[in-house]
Amino acid sequence: MIIEKSIKKQMVTLLAEIEKKEDIHIFYACESGSRAWGFPSADSDYDVRFLYVHPRDWYLSLDEGPDVIERPIDDKIDISGWDLKKALELFRKSNPPILEWLQSPIIYLEKSTIAQHMRKLLPEFYSPIACLYHYLHMAQRNFREYLKGDTVWIKKYFYVLRPILACRWIEADLGPVPMEFKTLVDRTVNSKSVKVAISDLLKRKQSGEEFDRAPQIPVLSNFIESALERLEKQKFGMKKSKGDTEKLNRLFRSCLLR
């Protein structure tokens, strides 16, 4: 996935300003939204997510400080970040957003080996069952809110299809879910008619077509309803992660001692 050099430079500048104001070290930043998924429209936001670490003494306080930094959406840039300790705690739980961020095809900066070490540990801490239920609940929620009834929010098909395909990816034992929507479609959708309908919808979105409420797309609605019905009845016997927390503790300590 290619991001214009001017855009990347703008993001790096914004991140440097946040570093200075918050007195932190941002060691990783990536794109996390539709641009990383591979289906942005002309007016899509930039969803920048970053991981950072405070100076050591910040962690040696009786009072715990905030572990999230957020900025109001400005000029189509949605930017926020997680403190390293929070990120590692969620990583230990196989939290899908942090797993996706580490695999983003659009990286704005990576200034140390911390993210690299986390990627190496990913197979050990990846929990198929935890991730599957995360994506299933996301698909169920978005389906109820946006795709029920004869008239639906057309662009929200993507926000139901992607988590459903993520579930299928996990069921197929293909490992941590990739961010790229096309990869999910190519590896988990067998129906030619469903693939054609998804491709047509992608072309419409990328051409800048406005997606408001409109009649259902039958082939996609049928696919989604059938998939949800099957997943909701399925009993999963997948293993939980067996990651060694002490490995994350050592990584955390090593960062603070630098």
Q: How far apart are CA 188 and CA 180, in angstroms?
A: 13
84 and 178 fall within a common domain: no
* Tokens 């630098």, located at residue: 258
209 and 252 fall within a common domain: no
Residue ranges of the chain with per-residue pLDDT less than 50: none
The reported pTM is 0.93
Which range marks the domain in which residue 167 is found?
Answer: 128-233
What CATH number should be reported for the domain holding residue 72? 3.30.460.10
68 and 168 fall within a common domain: no
Q: How far apart are CA 179 and CA 161, in angstroms?
A: 13
pLDDT at 73: 85
92 and 150 fall within a common domain: no
Per residue in 137-195, pLDDT (tens digit) is 999 999 999 999 899 999 899 999 999 999 999 999 999 999 999 999 999 999 999 99
Residues 133, 195 contacting (CB under 8 angstroms): no
Distances (CA, A) of 15 to 26, 42, 94, 101, 106: 7, 23, 26, 16, 15
**CB count, 10 Å around CB of 85?**
17
137 and 184 fall within a common domain: yes
pLDDT at 1: 61
36 and 87 fall within a common domain: yes
23 and 114 fall within a common domain: yes
Q: How far apart are CA 130 and CA 120, in angstroms?
A: 19
Tally of domains in the chain: 2
109 and 22 fall within a common domain: yes
Q: Which of 179, 180, 198 is nearest to 189 (CA)?
A: 198
pLDDT at 182: 95
CA 66 to chain centroid? 22
12 and 117 fall within a common domain: yes
Assigned domain for 199 exists: yes
Provide the token pair at 237.
């016997």
104 and 17 fall within a common domain: yes
Q: How far apart are CA 238 and CA 171, in angstroms?
A: 9
pLDDT at 44: 84
Assigned domain for 225 exists: yes
Q: How far apart are CA 113 and CA 66, in angstroms?
A: 24
89 and 116 fall within a common domain: yes
Q: Which of 92, 13, 80 is nearest to 49 (CA)?
A: 80
Residues 75, 145 contacting (CB under 8 angstroms): no
Q: How far apart are CA 48 and CA 46, in angstroms?
A: 6
pLDDT at 231: 95
73 and 14 fall within a common domain: yes
pLDDT at 137: 97
Assigned domain for 10 exists: yes
